[in-house]
C-alpha cells in the first residue's frame, strides 16, 4: 500500500513534467520517421532539438532541486560529448549503435551542423524546465 501511495504522490507532484514528456517523446520519435516535405532536415536536424529537450525534461523531473540553467548546461555538454563520440568506433560502441535505440541515443554520424540544434534544444529545454519548476513550487 505504501508503494502505491508513493507512486500516486509522484504522479501528482510531477503531472506537468510527465505531460511534457508525453508530448515531446512521441514528437521526437515521429521526427525520426517523418517522410513529408523537408524530411531530411526534420529527420537529421530538427530531431536533435527534441532530443535535447527530452533530456532536459527528464533531468528536471528527477533532479528537482537543480536549477534549470544547470540542467540545460549539463544536457548540452553531454550531448556534445556524445556527438564527438560518433568519431570513435570501438567495438562496444559499434555494437550499441547497431539497433534503433542505440543509434537514437548515441547517434552514428558526426556533423558540425548538429551543434546549433543542440544549443537551440538546450535553450528551449531551459525555458520549459524553468516554467515547470515555477509551476511546481507554487
Question: Taking 80 as the threshold, does the pLDDT of residue 13 lie above it?
Answer: yes
Q: What angle do CA 83, 87, 93 make, to 5 degrees?
A: 85
| Percentage, residues of the chain above pLDDT 70 | 96
- Decide: pTM greater than 0.85: yes
Boundaries of every domain in the chain: 2-137
What's the rounded mean pLDDT across residues 7-13?
85
Question: Taking 90 as the threshold, does the pLDDT of residue 120 lie above it?
Answer: yes
Q: Cell numbers 546549433 label which residue?
A: 116
The closest alpha carbon to 78, from 107, 98, 111, 99, belongs to 107
Give me the pLDDT at residue 111, please.
Answer: 92
Q: For residues 117 and 27, what is the distance between their CA atoms, to the nearest angstrom?
A: 16
Give me the pLDDT at residue 123, please.
Answer: 98
- Going by pLDDT thresholds of 50, 70 and 90, the confidence category of residue 136 is low
* 39 or 1, which is more confident: 39
Q: For residues 86 and 82, what is the distance between their CA atoms, to the nearest angstrom?
A: 7
Q: Which three cell numbers stand for residue 100?
A: 534503433
* 119 or 102, which is more confident: 119
Span 61-113, pLDDT tens digits: 999 899 999 999 999 999 999 999 989 888 888 888 888 888 888 888 889 99
Q: For residues 119 and 75, what is the distance between their CA atoms, to the nearest angstrom?
A: 10
Q: What are phi and psi of 108, to 5 degrees?
A: -140, -10
Question: Taking 50 as the threshold, does the pLDDT of residue 138 lie above it?
Answer: no
What value does the mean pLDDT of the chain take? 90
Amino acid at each position: 500500500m505504501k508503494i502505491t501511495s508513493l507512486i500516486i504522490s509522484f504522479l501528482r507532484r510531477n503531472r506537468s513534467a510527465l505531460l511534457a514528456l508525453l508530448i515531446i517523446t512521441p514528437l521526437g520519435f515521429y521526427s525520426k520517421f517523418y517522410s513529408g516535405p523537408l524530411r531530411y532536415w526534420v529527420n537529421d536536424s530538427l530531431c536533435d532539438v527534441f532530443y535535447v529537450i527530452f533530456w532536459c525534461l527528464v533531468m528536471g523531473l528527477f533532479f528537482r532541486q537543480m536549477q534549470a540553467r544547470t540542467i540545460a548546461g549539463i544536457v548540452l555538454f553531454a550531448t556534445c560529448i556524445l556527438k564527438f563520440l560518433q568519431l570513435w568506433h570501438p567495438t562496444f560502441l559499434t555494437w550499441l549503435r547497431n539497433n534503433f535505440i542505440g543509434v537514437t541515443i548515441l547517434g552514428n554520424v558526426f556533423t558540425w551542423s548538429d551543434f546549433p540544434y543542440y544549443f537551440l534544444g538546450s535553450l528551449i529545454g531551459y525555458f520549459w524546465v524553468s516554467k515547470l519548476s515555477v509551476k511546481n513550487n507554487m
